[in-house]
Copies of this chain bind each other. A is one copy, B any other.
Amino acid sequence: MDTSVAFSPRIERLLDQASSVCAERGSRLTDIRRLVLGLVLDRGRPSGAYELLDRLRENNRGAAPPTVYRALDFLLEQGLVHRIERLSAFVACTHALEHAHGCSDFHAAQFLICRHCGEVTELENRGISHALRAAGAEHGFHISASTIEAEGTCAACRAKPAGMDGPAESRQ
């Protein structure tokens, strides 16, 4: 496998941080995992697994679906990426590397998905998570993971309504 892939300095820095975070936890950010995380960060938008696979193959000819899915599973466990259910796609966690501690604890995020430009914004609103947790508890339900996603129009796309000029994969 070609290990010499270079992302932008900013991303390389994030990858180094991610690597440290993993090491502290006793897990390893191997070359493949690092590369996949780099690709997700580099894209900056939701990435489909097979889209990542295609780009992965540029550096790792033998890559197959399990290669990507294993890497993604690891990154999800480490809280370094999130899966957007409504898109069957993956985004880098905005908060995992800001907070030194990572996202290993109960990290309940919310996602705002813009239909027009495809951008995804990650929120960390404790109120929403707690409200859901409380609503579950009322029914005797114990929540261990949750998915909270909203689809609509972001501020930028509302400002230029007919523009259709943003990079939109999923325009309808």
Contact of A155 with B by CB under 8 A:
yes
A147, B144: Cβ atoms closer than 8 Å: no
Q: Mark A135-172, 1 if CB is under 8 A from B, else 0.
A: 11001111111111111111100100000000000000
Partner of A142, one of B85, B86, B158: B158
Q: Quick one: copies of this chain in the complex?
A: 2
Partner of A144, one of B85, B131, B132, B153: B153
Chain B residues near A110 (CB-CB < 8 A): 132, 135
Chain B residues near A143 (CB-CB < 8 A): 112, 150-152
B145, A150: Cβ atoms closer than 8 Å: yes
Report the interface size for chain A: residues with CB under 8 A from the other chain.
Answer: 34
Chain B residues near A147 (CB-CB < 8 A): 85-86, 147-151
Partner of A148, one of B127, B132, B141: B132
Specify the chain B residue showing the minimal Cβ separation from A159: B140
With A85-B85, A147-B148, A152-B145 known as contacts, the answer to whether A112 contacts B139 (CB < 8 A) is yes
B132, A155: Cβ atoms closer than 8 Å: no
A87 to chain B: closest CB distance in Å? 10
B151, A144: Cβ atoms closer than 8 Å: yes
With A128-B128, A131-B127, A131-B128 known as contacts, the answer to whether A142 contacts B146 (CB < 8 A) is no
Partner of A136, one of B112, B127, B135, B136: B112
A22 to chain B: closest CB distance in Å? 24
Chain B residues near A149 (CB-CB < 8 A): 85, 146-148
A128 to chain B: closest CB distance in Å? 5
What are the 3 tightest A-B residue pairs by CB atom distance, in nearest-first order?
A140-B155, A85-B85, A143-B152
